[in-house]
Structure 1
Amino acid sequence: MSQTQGTGEQTLAELGEFGLIGVLRARLPIGRDVLLGPGDDAAVVAAPDNRVVATADMLVEGRHFRRDWSEGYDVGRKAAAQNLADVAAMGAVPTALLVSFGAPPDLPVRWAVSFADGLRDECALVGASVAGGDVVMANPMVIGITALGSLRGQHPVTRSGARPGDLVAVCGRLGWSAAGLAVLARGFRSPRAVVEAHRRPAPPYDAGPEAATLGATSLIDVSDGLLADLAHIAQASGVRIDVETSRLASAVAEPLQAVAAAIGADPLSFILTGGEDHALAATFPAGTELPSRWQVVGKVCESAGLPGAHGEGVGGAGVGTPTWVTVDGVSYAGPAGHDHFR
């Protein structure tokens, strides 16, 4: 039986593929970086310095979002945010999204329209546009997004430039989305602040280009967990990163403490291993004067010959295998973040 049968709501089956495309196009304005938008076989997006930053991501219903937890608007904001943040994590400015939307035929048109509004509003934060995409029937729902961006004459900031002696700093919230997921998974809706953080992340998009201007040697979007994502930088750079928990005390906000107390967890674990906040983590040369919103959380060390540099831990797979990230000088016990296949 259709979810909307007997409710009077129009469904995608009733509206049809091209009717849906028309409704969505009408709600998605085109910005100056998109020279040719939806309606042709492909879009045309400006590339002023002859380079395009490109990234892609997917969301699957039941894995990345649930319709009983999030409205279409929330999912639209989240889908856009996690892709726009990846562009910012290269030191670039997002310009456009290409969106593939697979949904069941009994999905209310209202939900799809709300989803488009979420995409539009998140893109508006950075001046990006939805330049095109595709719609298909799928059950469960699946959303695929390709994000494009411009370096505007700057060099990309990659994961591979961290050097021993660099500072490790973070801009943005950590652990809020994980705390919100823990609350929702137990059937609750409060503290509302963390639930909303899980539904709609708030990446500091402009911190990406800012980090590049400040001379960041490496940069990454914290999507899987601080330790897990710092391990990507450490491995790509051939270094070890040590996170200092004394520097993270101020990041353990009251809502995180409340959730941790309610479920018997360590609030610091949300900060260290919680994903989907899409904060930005970067390494900077020692002595770099950072704006106050960048919080130094650790340092870059030599990859070998230091306590905890080998053995089980973040990035480690056994004796003789490098542990790329340590916490207060030793390996971290437990999962370091999210892994789709573990």
Structure 2
Amino acid sequence: MEQPTREPSPTVGELGETAVLARILPRLEPGEAALLGAGDDAAVVAAHDGRFVVTTDLMVHGPDFRLAWSRPHDLGWKAAATNLTDVAAMGARPTALVVSIAAPPTTPVSLLEGIADGLRDALDALAPGAGVVGGDLSASSVLTIAVTAFGDLDGRRPVLRSGARPGDVLAHAGARGDAARGLKVLFAEARDADGEPDADLADAARTRHPLLVGAQLAPSPPVSAGVVAATSGATAMLDVSDGLARDARRLAEASAVGLDFHAGALGPDPLTAMAGAEDHGLLATFPAGTTPPEPFEVVGVVNGDAGRLTLDGEPVDTSGWDPYSGWDGGTG
């Protein structure tokens, strides 16, 4: 039986902002913390003890994603995930997102609908009860997604980068190096003869390497582990987005301590685990003598060598992802 022809999607320029919003907003939920969602000039979100955690992140076509490799759903999912882990790294429970999208007027509205679906599904999976409470649409020559995320500490103190002490246990939750390996796969298997990203080749690579390519395009970080760490006495914590080594150095410098990673705890390729960016796991320290809660795994120890990062006692390269200089770890 012949399949019906799917009607092409109108562009955002053809529909205009009001009509585009009318197609996007019904795909999103405001979440449990929203006292007033989208529709007025601003939303109203509950903060039960008078404090809230707030963070923001940009995704720009080119340095952050390739439309030929990422499906619209991937973009929405990743935009949510990358912000939710920043909230989680403070020991907070994500409550709300504000999402702004700037897109060329020729962009099919179906692409924005797919982004909205990805945002909704990521929130449902990674931060149940959180929702999208507002945002903005604008025109740009480059597709850009900006997300601001809010979180509730539920009466707890925030977990900072600066609280680690010598003797603390160093632990990590989430993937280590999978996103970097996925990016290598895409550069190796998802470019055409001219070296340009190719959507069909990306789909084929994703079929062959679902875990690795999925970790790069639509990561599933352990968002709920942030609150688990906070309630279990974590002394310091941060989101690992620019590479385990690069972000660990930030924690070490903030706490004026040294961090010694155990190579045997990082898998068969510890250097890739240390250098690879975009896994969005959580690196935390816990008091000496304690056992970190699941899903955290012990990966090292805190010592008194202020600002020094080592792997089994040997200095380790702390390069990783930098949006201005590109990827330092050799994946493109």
2:323 matched to which residue of 1? 340
Q: Structure 1, residues 228-261: CA drift from partner, whole Å, max 9, x if none?
A: 1111110000111111102223xx4xxxxxxxxx
SS at 1:75 equivalent: helix
Q: 1:86 to 1:248 in 2, by over 3 A?
A: same
SS at 1:186 equivalent: helix
What is the alpha-carbon distance in structure 1 between the residues aligned to residue 322 and residue 166 of structure 2? 27
Aligned ranges 1:262-277 → 2 under 5 Å: 267-277=269-279
Aligned ranges 1:43-54 → 2 under 5 Å: 43-54=43-54
What is the alpha-carbon distance in structure 2 between the residues aligned to residue 164 and residue 108 of structure 1? 54
What is the alpha-carbon distance in structure 2 between the residues aligned to residue 185 and residue 146 of structure 1? 30
1:327 aligns with 2:329: no
2:304 matched to which residue of 1? 302
What is the alpha-carbon distance in structure 2 between the residues aligned to residue 9 and residue 91 of structure 1? 41
SS at 2:162 equivalent: coil
2:263 matched to which residue of 1? 245
What is the alpha-carbon distance in structure 2 between the residues aligned to residue 208 and residue 291 of structure 1? 11
Query: Contact 2:259 / 2:302 at 8 angstroms: preserved in 1?
Result: yes
What is the alpha-carbon distance in structure 2 between the residues aligned to residue 244 and residue 56 of structure 1? 32
Residue 154 of structure 2 aligns with an amino acid whose one-letter code is R
What is the alpha-carbon distance in structure 2 between the residues aligned to residue 151 and residue 8 of structure 1? 45
1:69 matched to which residue of 2? 69
Query: Contact 1:272 / 1:336 at 8 angstroms: preserved in 2?
Result: no
Out of 190, 212, 224, the position equivalent to 1:206 is: 224
Q: 1:298 to 1:291 in 2, by over 3 A?
A: same
User: Among the aligned pairs, what percent are the same residue?
Assistant: 47
What is the alpha-carbon distance in structure 1 between the residues aligned to residue 74 and residue 8 of structure 2? 23
1:25 aligns with 2:25: yes
Q: 1:172 to 1:216 in 2, by over 3 A?
A: same
Aligned ranges 1:105-120 → 2 under 5 Å: 105-120=105-120
CA drift of 1:47 comes to 0.7
Query: Normalising to structure 2: TM-score of the pair?
Result: 0.88
CA drift of 1:289 comes to 2.1
1:228 matched to which residue of 2? 246
- For structure 2, the residue ranges without an aligned partner over 5 or more in a row are 1-6, 191-204, 326-332
Residue 86 of structure 1 aligns with an amino acid whose one-letter code is D
CA drift of 1:303 comes to 2.4
What is the alpha-carbon distance in structure 2 between the residues aligned to residue 124 and residue 232 of structure 1? 31
1:257 matched to which residue of 2? none
Query: Normalising to structure 1: TM-score of the pair?
Result: 0.85
SS at 2:148 equivalent: strand
What is the alpha-carbon distance in structure 2 between the residues aligned to residue 17 and residue 159 of structure 1? 41
1:176 aligns with 2:194: no
What is the alpha-carbon distance in structure 1 between the residues aligned to residue 280 and residue 209 of structure 2? 20
Out of 203, 212, 237, the position equivalent to 1:219 is: 237
Residue 54 of structure 1 aligns with an amino acid whose one-letter code is V
Q: Structure 1, residues 157-193: CA drift from partner, whole Å, max 9, x if none?
A: 0000000000100011111111111111123413222
CA drift of 1:292 comes to 4.5
CA drift of 1:268 comes to 2.8
Query: Contact 1:97 / 1:148 at 8 angstroms: preserved in 2?
Result: yes
1:58 aligns with 2:58: yes
Query: Contact 1:239 / 1:302 at 8 angstroms: preserved in 2?
Result: yes
What is the alpha-carbon distance in structure 1 between the residues aligned to residue 104 and residue 256 of structure 2? 45
What is the alpha-carbon distance in structure 2 between the residues aligned to residue 291 and residue 159 of structure 1? 19
Query: Contact 2:229 / 2:293 at 8 angstroms: preserved in 1?
Result: no
Query: Contact 2:75 / 2:118 at 8 angstroms: preserved in 1?
Result: yes
Query: Contact 2:30 / 2:37 at 8 angstroms: preserved in 1?
Result: yes
SS at 2:216 equivalent: helix
What is the alpha-carbon distance in structure 2 between the residues aligned to residue 58 and residue 24 of structure 1? 20
Residue 20 of structure 1 aligns with an amino acid whose one-letter code is V
Query: Contact 1:74 / 1:115 at 8 angstroms: preserved in 2?
Result: yes
Q: How many residues align?
A: 301
Residue 326 of structure 1 aligns with an amino acid whose one-letter code is T
CA drift of 1:270 comes to 2.3
What is the alpha-carbon distance in structure 2 between the residues aligned to residue 150 and residue 246 of structure 1? 36
Residue 338 of structure 1 aligns with an amino acid whose one-letter code is W
What is the alpha-carbon distance in structure 2 between the residues aligned to residue 324 and residue 232 of structure 1? 10
Q: What is the Cα-based RMSD across aligned positions, in Å?
A: 1.3
